[in-house]
């Protein structure tokens, strides 16, 4: 995809502690993240008599101080009325508990995201079990140490404030009224289990969270807790649903990178990107290989330890979709690893839908 086909109407992102108005009644702000992906975009919706906060930032560093600066300078003397989290990842819901307590306001989230977040906040070292050892061994990692993994796990709770004890449920197709605007809830799956986006027709604006991001690809992973999941099928189906239900000229307000036009173009490019990866894996698996051996097929750059887990999860997600489509089989070898092999022997000479593209941006959390 050539980047010229997306258009970015705002050249400068807001400095931390300040906002940029991106549409009538919508302010864009940023918080820092302690990763290679160093920021998250958050939004304030003007309800007339107060503000709704869309996503919250992580429980880390000076996020709270930056929120206090925003409250002092950007709320025009009006209170916060509600907090809405698109999904349960820590950069999105990490400060929800603090914000809801501080303003004594409700949290809006889909049911699966809320319950998932509540569950993850309770997990401790003992929740890393033999099931993890099996999962990593089957992926080709033999030196996974349960003791070490338990020692190193910091837990969801270390980057997320305790969540509010009650929430208001968002569900696909619902409408949420903020001031004089009605926002339609559209859910997507694959990156997280029931991710909520909000679309307003009169402004033609989509609050996209991590569901559509212009420059980096959201992580879509199979993880030890659900080792036979097929999240890439859900992810690609969600892209088709968004293509079907939203106009091409929507202004997209994503949680990372910057607001953009070119929604359909981006969704199609992401579908092609994954189809290219699927084909590359099929070609690589003419000889049986483990998921670990297949990482260089999808990721050309060197991965550090923290990226390797996400990369492996994403590789397995692609392999599972190929298995689901009947294009890949796997066998458990004598070492307890799955070896994947493609079924179509004519693959190396088959036409490709596009060029193989490796991820080169940071992996999303």
What is the contact surface with Zn ion in residues (CB under 5 A)? 89, 210
- 79 in Cβ contact with 48 (< 8 Å): no
| Beta carbon of residue 111, minimum distance to Zn ion (angstroms, whole number) | 17
38 or 335: CB nearest Zn ion: 38
Any bridge partners for residue 169, and if so which?
109
DSSP assignment of 123-164, as one string? Answer: --GGGS-HHHHHHHHHHT-----HHHHHHH---GGGTSPPPP
87 or 137: CB nearest Zn ion: 87
59 or 89: CB nearest Zn ion: 89
CB environment 333-353: b (16+ within 10 A), e (fewer): eeeebbbbebeeeeeeeeeee
89 or 339: CB nearest Zn ion: 89
| Beta carbon of residue 91, minimum distance to Zn ion (angstroms, whole number) | 7
Any bridge partners for residue 168, and if so which?
108
CA angle, 218 then 342 then 219, to 5°:
5
- Helix or strand (DSSP H, E) at 273: helix 263-284
What lies within 8 Å, CB to CB, of 56 at 6+ separation is 42, 83, 85, 92, 93, 94, 95, 96, 99
59 or 289: CB nearest Zn ion: 59
46 or 210: CB nearest Zn ion: 210
Shortest Cβ contact with Zn ion: which residue? 89
CA angle, 158 then 164 then 165, to 5°:
115
CA 119, 121, 127, 128 dihedral sign is positive
Rounded Cα gap, residues 78 and 50, in angstroms = 5
| Beta carbon of residue 57, minimum distance to Zn ion (angstroms, whole number) | 13
17 or 209: CB nearest Zn ion: 209
Rounded Cα gap, residues 294 and 80, in angstroms = 48
| Beta carbon of residue 276, minimum distance to Zn ion (angstroms, whole number) | 23
| Beta carbon of residue 306, minimum distance to Zn ion (angstroms, whole number) | 15
Rounded Cα gap, residues 329 and 327, in angstroms = 7
- 88 in Cβ contact with 117 (< 8 Å): yes
| Beta carbon of residue 155, minimum distance to Zn ion (angstroms, whole number) | 17
258 or 290: CB nearest Zn ion: 258
| Beta carbon of residue 365, minimum distance to Zn ion (angstroms, whole number) | 6
| Beta carbon of residue 355, minimum distance to Zn ion (angstroms, whole number) | 27
């Amino acid at each position: 995809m050539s980047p010229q086909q997306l258009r970015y109407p705002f050249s400068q992102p807001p400095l931390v502690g300040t906002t940029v108005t991106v549409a009538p009644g919508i302010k864009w702000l940023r918080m820092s993240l302690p990763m290679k992906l160093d920021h998250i975009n958050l939004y304030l919706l003007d309800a007339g008599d107060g503000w709704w906060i869309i996503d919250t930032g992580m429980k880390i560093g000076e996020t709270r101080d930056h929120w206090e600066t925003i409250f002092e300078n950007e709320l025009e003397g009006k209170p916060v009325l509600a907090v809405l989290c698109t999904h349960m990842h820590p950069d999105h819901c990490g400060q929800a508990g603090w914000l809801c307590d501080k303003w004594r306001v409700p949290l809006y989230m889909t049911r699966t995201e809320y319950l998932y977040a509540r569950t993850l906040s309770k997990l401790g070292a003992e929740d890393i079990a033999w099931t993890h050892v099996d999962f990593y061994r089957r992926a080709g990692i033999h030196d996974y140490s349960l003791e070490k993994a338990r020692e190193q796990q910091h837990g969801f709770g270390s980057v997320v404030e305790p969540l509010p004890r009650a929430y208001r449920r968002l569900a696909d197709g619902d409408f949420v009224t903020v001031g004089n605007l009605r926002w339609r809830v559209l859910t997507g799956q694959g990156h997280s289990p029931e991710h909520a986006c909000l679309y307003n027709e009169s402004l033609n604006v989509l609050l996209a969270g991590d569901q559509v991001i212009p420059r980096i690809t959201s992580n879509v992973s199979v993880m030890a807790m659900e080792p036979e999941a097929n999240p890439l099928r859900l992810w690609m189906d969600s892209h088709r649903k968004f293509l079907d239900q939203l106009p091409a000229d929507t202004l997209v307000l994503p949680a990372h990178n910057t607001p953009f036009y070119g929604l359909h173009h981006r969704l199609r490019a992401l579908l092609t990107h994954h189809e290219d990866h699927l084909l590359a894996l099929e070609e690589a698996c003419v000889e049986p290989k483990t998921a670990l051996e297949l990482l260089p097929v999808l990721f050309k750059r060197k991965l550090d330890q923290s990226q390797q887990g996400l990369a492996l999860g994403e590789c397995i997600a692609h392999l599972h979709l190929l298995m689901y489509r009947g294009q890949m089989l796997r066998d458990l070898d004598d070492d307890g690893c799955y070896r994947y092999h493609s079924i179509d022997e004519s693959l190396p000479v088959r036409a490709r839908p596009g060029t193989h593209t490796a991820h080169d941006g940071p992996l999303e959390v």
